[in-house]
Structure formats: C-alpha cells, structure tokens
C-alpha cells in the first residue's frame, strides 16, 4: 500500500509537489481528560520502520517510536480539546477541533491533510478522509502514535492530581475499576460531564464503599 512518498497508498490522487500531513486523534472514548490530536509531515529521506495504528502497538513500542517520529519528521504538532470543549461541542466536533489545531500548529505549512476516519475538520487546506488510515498511511500512523502517547502522558499527570481514580492504569477509559471509583468518589473536574456514566455519577453523588 505504501509508495515512495512515506505514508501514501497507490490510489491516492496527489501530485509530487504536495506537502502532506497525516492527522489522527486519541481519546474519543474515555470518560475523562482532553481529546488529543497530532499532525505529522514525514521526511521521505528519513523513513521510520514499524509505523502502524497505535492501537495495534504495545505501550513500550509506542514509547520507542514517538521520539523517533519527532526526531525524523519534517514537522509534527500535538494539540488538544479540553473536557469543557468536549461537553460543549460533543466529542466528534471536539476531536475535529483538536485535529485542526494540530495542523495549524505545524511549523511547515502542508498543502494536503490526510485525516483518519470518515470526517474532516474545516481547514484552509485540502483534507481527505481515509477510513482506517492509521493502518494504511504512514503519516497518519505516526500521528496516531504521537496523539496516543501524549494523551497517555497527560492522564498520568492527572493521576497525580486525582489519584483516587487510578487514571494511570486505565487512562480515563470506562473500565470496571474506573466506574467503581467514579461511583465511590463522584466526578472530578476533569471528567466529561456529557458522557452517560459521568452524568449518572453526578446525579447519584459519591457512594462510599461498604468497607468505609
């Protein structure tokens, strides 16, 4: 699927003069924390082995690849949309906002953005949605890895502020542990109030465990 330009598959209609960035997000599903997005322009002269959808890589592999991407790419940027923006806009539009912010933060101006998924943010440059792009297009794979590692790091930081929720373990996703802590302690300031389990916790209030 990949051509001589990193991250392009053969049937993508582009010209050799295009400056292409790959864009992906991380953190649409969790109940807490911002949604992150990254944009990456790869360097054809400095290929990076092992790029693929971040969800198909181990945490250790992602942590190895992220600094390589930052060192070898022509440009990269990471952006986010806050919990408040998620609740105001909904998670889809907040994700698109984070993607647009990431593209606009690039130090090299791209002419084309390849967006993972089936929706594109409104931007000043052309954008093409690529379903499954995080495992088809190297630049999107790279963006996926940067967005995922940045978000995981942010949730570890949030764990220091709110250790009772164990954000360092589940990264904000609705695991059994997270739901139990949400029930026990109620919602924190970084929980997404528009998400159903958080709304339920807000309605019920903290429910201390029987052991307490």
Q: What is the pTM of this model?
A: 0.91
In angstroms, the Cα distances linking 48 to 6, 35, 71 are: 9, 26, 10
pLDDT 10s per residue in the chain (212 long)? 333 344 455 556 566 788 999 999 999 999 999 999 999 999 999 999 999 999 999 999 999 999 999 999 999 999 999 999 999 999 999 999 999 999 999 999 999 999 999 999 999 999 999 999 999 999 999 999 999 999 999 999 999 999 999 999 999 999 999 999 999 999 999 999 999 999 999 998 878 765 54
The answer to whether 59 is a known ligand-binding residue is: no
Q: How far apart are CA 197 and CA 65, in angstroms?
A: 34
Sheet-wide strand order for 75-81: 75-81, 35-41, 20-26, 112-116, 126-130
The answer to whether 180 is a known ligand-binding residue is: no
Q: How far apart are CA 30 and CA 106, in angstroms?
A: 26
The answer to whether 116 is a known ligand-binding residue is: yes
Residue 36, phi then psi, degrees to nearest 5 = -110, 155
Domains of the chain: 20-152 (3.30.420.10), 163-204 (no CATH)
Q: Which helix (H) or strand (E) holds 72?
A: helix 59-72
């Amino acid at each position: 699927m990949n051509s001589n330009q990193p991250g392009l598959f053969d049937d993508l209609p582009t010209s050799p003069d295009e400056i292409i960035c790959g864009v992906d997000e991380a953190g649409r599903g969790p109940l807490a924390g911002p949604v992150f997005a990254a944009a990456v322009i790869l360097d054809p002269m400095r290929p990076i082995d092992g790029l693929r959808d971040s969800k198909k890589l181990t945490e250790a592999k992602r942590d190895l690849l992220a600094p390589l991407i930052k060192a070898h790419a022509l440009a990269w940027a990471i952006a986010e949309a806050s919990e408040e923006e998620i609740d105001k806009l909904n998670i889809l539009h907040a994700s698109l906002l984070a993607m647009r912010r990431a593209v606009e933060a690039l130090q090299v101006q791209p002419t084309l953005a390849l967006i993972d998924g089936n929706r594109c943010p409104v931007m000043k440059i052309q954008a093409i949605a690529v379903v499954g792009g995080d495992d088809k297009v190297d630049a999107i794979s790279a963006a996926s890895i940067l967005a995922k590692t940045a978000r995981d790091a942010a949730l570890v930081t949030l764990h220091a502020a709110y250790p009772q929720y164990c954000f360092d373990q589940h990264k904000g996703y609705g695991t059994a542990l997270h739901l139990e802590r949400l029930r026990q302690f109620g919602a924190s300031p970084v929980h997404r109030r528009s998400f159903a389990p958080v709304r339920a916790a807000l309605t019920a209030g903290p429910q201390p465990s029987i052991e307490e």
